[in-house]
Amino acid sequence: MADDTETSTHIPKKTTKKQPPTHPLLSHPLNVFNLPPEILGALVSYNTVEDADKSETTISKEITESKLALSGLIGISTAGCATCGGLVFESVDEQREHYRTDFHRFNAKRKLYDPNVEPVNEEEFEEMLEEMTKSSSDTESTKSNASSQSSYDAVEALFKKHQPSIENDEFVRTTHQENSPYLWFSAPPVLREEIHLGIFKQIFPDHRHSDPIQYLKSAQIDGGEGDGESKRTWTMLMLSGGYFAGLVCVLNPKKTGKDSGMEPIVHKRFQRYTVRRKQGGAQSVHDQAKGGAKSAGADIRRYNEAKLQEEIRELLENWKDWIEKSELIFVSAPSVNKNIIYGYERAVLRRGDPRIRSFPFSTKRPAYKELKRCFSKLVTVKVSELDAESLKKFLSANDPAEELASKMESLVRATAKSKKPTPPQEPKKPEQTEEVKKLIELIRKGKLDLMVGHMEKCAISPTIRFETEEFKHTPTLLHVASLAAQPEIVSYFLEKHSADPTITSTTLKTPYDVAPDKETRNAFRRYMAENLDQWDWKIAHVPKGGGVSKNKQKDVEPLPSNQPPPKTTAIGQTLNKAISELDINLTPEMQARIEREKRARAAEARLAKLANRGSKPVCEMCKTSLVGKVPFARMQWQYCSTDCVVKHRALVG
């Protein structure tokens, strides 16, 4: 972090960067099992220091009184955010909207880092964000990486800029936490009072019921001498995502180099493809949740899981003697991976083994290099420096009674704000509801049956009017159906609900005007031909000239008087009826397929009638006799002219 970092109110200001402790004994990293005798003799456990200002009885009494006072306010239901300083909202929707803001995210990240930090108000957050934007825009790195800056998280950058030093504040953040991974010590007068030493709890036998200082004194290792029986051994195992790594090592604090602090006895690493790519999760977990997938990849992953389990258990069996002699066993096996290491018949490791520990920090992909890193972190003493003033401020902030009192005060303020009269919320307009949005989506997709069911279920009027800017071109459902080129839905609204086709939009367009294709316009014309007196069709802009069904018969030629009228119109009627009865949910490809099948059946029926009739050959289209003429042939049909060929092809496809 830069030395000249600017901060705003409630952010711990860092005027100068703290220098690392300069004591000669701290010039190099300290190993837990090879502490200098001067420090070891002066160690004092910070967790056992008693507070002289308040007795335990006084503290307990204050906590009880504060809890009783607070209990009367717990039942009050308010929508607020304690993370951002006790904000109160008028509704749950406002509260949810607040949780999505960068302002809340920033305060939440600071609260996770330090539970005792004061929240930043919205004005301060905006000022901090503006300062960071201005300062970052002047740097050469920002100019050269302008393309990547758009995807950079401003909240993350702001948090990193104002984040306190982890090295110096580790002691503050973890001393009074019940689940802290460290035990903290000091060594006055050898080390200054500001210097604190942190050691992971996981390396102690039982830090709650034993004396940690006494254990540290007895656990010191003078060197790597000694036979195999006297050497202290650790076992470390990692398993995650199809990767396994194991290590058995001897503690040797005197050893330096790439294997500093230990001597590896044996190590092994396996890798198998067991995780579903781009989706995550083991194949066995997916099978338990959704059933066994039938694919080549799933079969490979199942085989690899079984093979990996077999290899790991065989390895543990081979390492059984070393594992039994190990002083501590560190295991990292999240989720279902634990079943591979524990819980099987004649397992080498048992869940109740007191030597088994988990890693008290995040680990990366299992590998020998990662195991060495974790070992080094476990046996290295954490050195933190904190002045007396900051420590006193932290202790006062962590006082249980004062913490409860501050919570009670925040609740009182929140309650007072919640009692203020809130203006009644206006009911949502129809166009703002999710039901109407779904209805419009069904209309645009042409889902007639689903649309009708949705309207009945949600009690939506088919004559609903929209008045917002979003629907300036489609103020009615009839407009929406017409603009979406859905003639079936247009006919439904006109015939079933007598939708008004004369209503105009803000651009003075009727439903007929917004129709994008001929089929949709024909739906209006057909309804007009059957209901001329229902509406003023001139105002609806629907042109006159008769219905579409009448115009389709203009191209039919008159038949000779000596022949009975053929029943060719029945084909068209059958086709139209078939189209109208098609399920609205069928895809266009399925509709075309059904259409072809209908036409083929009609053609077969005509051929059968001609074969049974036994009369002279006639034109397939106009039924004119072909006796004495050279017919035009197409497939199994004959025609008197090319015009009949074209017309018949258009009819049957």
Residues facing residue 306 across a β-bridge: none
Pairing of strands 637-639, 262-271: unpaired
The two structure tokens encoding residue 584: 């609205």
Q: What are the structure tokens assigned to 65, written together?
A: 């009184």
Q: Which strand (E) or helix (H) includes residue 115?
A: none
Quickly tell me which residue has 């005027």 as its tokens.
Answer: 15
- Answer whether 335's CB lies under 8 Å from 241's CB: no
Q: How far is CA 146 from CA 131, 139, 506, 557, in A?
A: 18, 11, 44, 74
Tracing tokens 């066995």 back to the chain, one arrives at 284
Contact indicator for 221, 31 with CB cutoff of 8 Å: no
Quote the tokens at residue 355.
């030597």
> Which tokens belong to 235?
């076992």
Active-site residue (options: 163, 283, 309, 638): 283
Measuring CA to CA, which residue among 485, 425, 423, 492 is closest to residue 462? 492
Q: How far apart are CA 180 and CA 200, in angstroms?
A: 9
- The two three-digit tokens of residue 253, written as one number: 């604090």
Residues in the chain: 653
How deeply is 198 buried, as exposed, middle or buried, from its count of CB atoms within 10 A (0-12, 13-18, 19+)?
A: buried
> Judging by beta carbons within 10 Å of its beta carbon (0-12, 13-18, 19+), is residue 149 exposed, middle or buried?
middle
47-51: long-range contacts (C-beta < 8 A, 24 or more apart)? 47/175, 47/183, 47/184, 51/395
Q: Which amino acid would we find at residue 44?
A: V
Q: Which two tokens stand for residue 563?
A: 């022949």
**Is 283 an active-site residue?**
yes
Q: Residue 121, by phi and psi: left (phi above 0), alpha (psi -120 to 50) or beta?
A: beta
Q: Residue 616, Cα to own-chain centre: how many angstroms?
A: 75
Residue 141 CA, chain-centre distance (Å), reads: 32
Strands 44-45 and 262-271: unpaired
- Active-site positions read 283
